[in-house]
Amino acid sequence: MKTNKEIMDLAEQALIHTYNRFPVVLDHGKGVYLYDVEGKEYLDFAAGIAVNAFGYDVPEYKQALKDQIDKVIHVSNLYYTEPLAKAANKLAKATGLRKVFFTNSGTEAIEGAIKLARKYAWNRDNGSTDHEIIAMNNSFHGRSIGALSVTGNPHYQEAFKPLIDKVVFADFNNIEDVRSKITDKTCAIIFETIQGEGGIYPVEADFIKEVRRICDEKDILLILDEIQCGMGRSGKMFAYEHFGVKPDIVTVAKALGCGVPIGAFVAGDKVCDSMTAGDHGSTYGGNPLATAAANAVFDLFEKKHILENVNETGSYLGEVLDRFAAKYDFITEARGMGLIRGLEFSVPVGPIVNRCIEEGLLLISAGTNVIRFVPPLVITKENVDEMAQKLDRVLSEV
Ligand SMILES: *Cc1c(COP(=O)(O)O)cnc(C)c1O
């Protein structure tokens, strides 16, 4: 058996260094705990970045994957499969929209959403190609060139220019700024219903409702990125349900497959037939293994009453984080919804997160000064108490 250190050295020899990984080599998981190769236990409040909704070693989920592996893993989109047909219908129903395109990741879902919006406007405007997209400052939509082009973070974009053209940025939750950026050429407005990587900023009700109204008035498409905040994490299946608003296109990924890579963009009535045969494709997208995973995920959401737990345990987590904000004067704010929450610090959180890992608690940051809490959606109040104990021990040393 190799040690953490031996495996880390082996990995760094051959991996392009785009991540500063934590010095932990994870080996297996059980419930809401992960274990490294030396047997150390970690309480998981990161969930593989908001992916592992049910935690680890879930019998029904594993069995669904094994059953599909025994049948067939991949056939391509030249053919139909039953898991694909079922997953599309389940996702359309869950989003309240009409039709689905499956991708392999979040960033590809964003690419597809951008293409669909442009195609809609191209059809409408007799083939004109000068349409603009409004995106938000401080947003995150992924790392491929299209998704990066709508990501409002100059640091991520700088070295990779030129990006796609005709994207303008407005301040999130600032309706006057959005209004001032709209032109006759605006074809879409895109934002995360809850900004994730940018530091856990939920959309304000007045803002999202007014954007929806403007979009309807001017025939602009509203694209909501629910890759992180969707699939139950906010306490509703999709966060826009809190506001009585529906997007024209929603992007989904992360918890959709709970670890098997799958994403999707889902389109409403107005746009779902704008793309036609040949307009878009993916070799793997929606393959039988990935869609079997998504089907199992939807079934388990009901069977395990996930939304009830997110609401109950999520508000308990909110109270616990409010108490931290009151207790420590270097914590400036606690915010978020359900089981997607952030604690903002007046100091960089990197060293705090590292100390928590030493204490056996996996947390992640969002930006330099926010600790992000995106645990498995099955955590209990006891798990929250255990997290709070460990975090408090670390914070009392700061
Ligand atoms: C993670 C994330 C993405 C990118 O998804 P990948 O699967 O990493 O490509 C896009 N948008 C949001 C809001 C995300 O959190």
pLDDT tens digits for range 186-219: 999 999 999 999 999 999 999 999 999 999 999 9
CB 60 within 8 A of CB 303: yes
pLDDT in tens, 271-330: 999 999 999 999 999 999 999 999 999 999 999 999 999 999 999 999 999 999 999 999
Ligand 1 mutation pick, 107, 138, 149, max ligand atoms within 8 A of CB: 107
Residue owning the nearest CA to atom 15 of ligand 1: 228
Compute, in angstroms, the gap from residue 143 CA to the centroid of ligand 1: 8
Distance of CA 61 to the CA centre of its chain: 20
Cα dihedral sign, 148-208-194-119? negative
pLDDT, tens digit (0-9, with 9 covering 90-100), for 48-96: 999 999 999 999 999 999 999 999 999 999 999 999 999 999 999 999 9
| Closest atom of ligand 1 relative to the 253 alpha carbon | 7
Q: Residue 1 — very low, low, confident or very high, per pLDDT cuts 50/70/90?
A: confident
**b (16+ CB within 10 A) / e for 13-27:** eeeeeeeeeeebbbe
Query: Which residue puts its alpha carbon closest to atom 7 of ligand 1?
Result: 106
The number of the ligand 1 atom at minimal distance from the alpha carbon of 192 is 13
Q: Compute the distance from residue 303 Cα to the ligand 1 centre, in Å.
A: 27
Residue having the nearest C-alpha atom to atom 5 of ligand 1: 106
| Start-end of H helices in 263-380 | 288-303, 306-327, 350-358
* Assigned token pair, 281: 């494709």
Phi, psi of 223 (to 5 degrees): -105, 120
| pLDDT of 115 strictly over 90 | yes
Which residue's CA lies nearest to atom 6 of ligand 1? 106
What pLDDT score does 40 carry? 98
* pLDDT at residue 184 tops 90: yes
Atom of ligand 1 nearest to the CA of 143: 9
Give residue 227 CA to ligand 1 midpoint distance, Å.
6
226 Cα–ligand 1 center, Å:
9
Over residues 212-271, the pLDDT tens digits come to 999 999 999 999 999 999 999 999 999 999 999 999 999 999 999 999 999 999 999 999
The answer to whether the beta carbons of residues 172 and 203 sit under 8 Å apart is yes
With a CB cutoff of 8 Å and minimum separation 6, the contacts of 389 are none
**C-alpha distances out from residue 141 to 134, 207, 342, Å:** 13, 20, 19
Q: How far is the CA of 331 from the centre of ligand 1 (A)?
A: 27
My answer on whether omega of the bond before 375 falls inside 30° of 0, hence cis, is no
Angle at 264 between CA 263 and CA 269, to 5 degrees: 170
225 CA closest ligand 1 atom index: 13
pLDDT at 102: 98
- 297 within 8 A of 257, measured Cβ to Cβ: yes
Q: Examine the pLDDT at 149 and tell me if it is beyond 80.
A: yes
**Closest atom of ligand 1 to CA, residue 254:** 7
Three-class SS state of 193: coil
Ligand 1, pocket-test mutation among 19, 145, 227, 374, most atoms within 8 A of CB: 227
Note the pLDDT of residue 109: 99
Residue nearest ligand 1's atom 10 by CA:
141
Average of per-residue pLDDT values in the chain: 98
Q: With contact defined as beta carbons under 8 Å apart, do 197 and 374 qualify?
A: no
Question: Residue 250 C-alpha to ligand 1 middle, in angstroms?
Answer: 13
Which atom of ligand 1 is nearest to 142's Cα?
Answer: 4
Where would I find the beta strands (DSSP E) of 154-239?
Answer: 167-170, 186-192, 194-195, 201-202, 221-225
**Ligand 1 centre and the CA of 71: distance in Å?**
30
Residues within a 6 A CB radius of ligand 1: 105-107, 110, 140-142, 192, 196-197, 225, 227-228, 253-254
213-238 as b/e: b if 16+ CB within 10 A: ebbeeeebbbbbbbbbbbbbbbbbbb
- Centre of ligand 1 to C-alpha 290, Å, is 17
Task: Output phi, psi for 293, to 5 deg.
Answer: -65, -45
Distance from first CA to last CA of the chain, Å, rounded?
36
CA–CA dist 126, 129 (Å, integer): 9
